[in-house]
Amino acid sequence: MAAAKELKIKRVIIDDRSARHFAETMLLRSIGLMGILLLAKEYKKIESVKKYLDILIEKGFRMSVKLYNQILKSAGEID
């Protein structure tokens, strides 16, 4: 994150919650894996966020049912 500040990078990719909070204290915007999936769908790089969430879960990625549903709702894949 120090390098990001030094290089005047405004957004960093961080998936660790505590690291994201630290980035915010350094006035850096952060984006995690879920945000990247949502952007990929928005920019039509992927058709379905659900497909990738399911693959992640199958490979051992842990997330709550609440978060899973929130991401799908944000992606417009459920109501």
Domain ranges of the chain: 1-30, 33-75
CB within 8 Å of 3: residues ≥ 6 apart:
9
pLDDT higher than threshold 90 for residue 9: no
pLDDT higher than threshold 90 for residue 5: no
Average pLDDT of the residues of the chain: 91
Instruction: Give me the phi and psi of 6, to 5 degrees please.
Output: -65, -40
For residue 68, give Cα distances in angstroms to 20, 27, 44, 58. 20, 28, 20, 13
Q: Dump pLDDT digits (tens) for 13-72.
A: 887 888 888 888 888 888 889 999 999 999 999 999 999 999 999 999 999 999 999 999
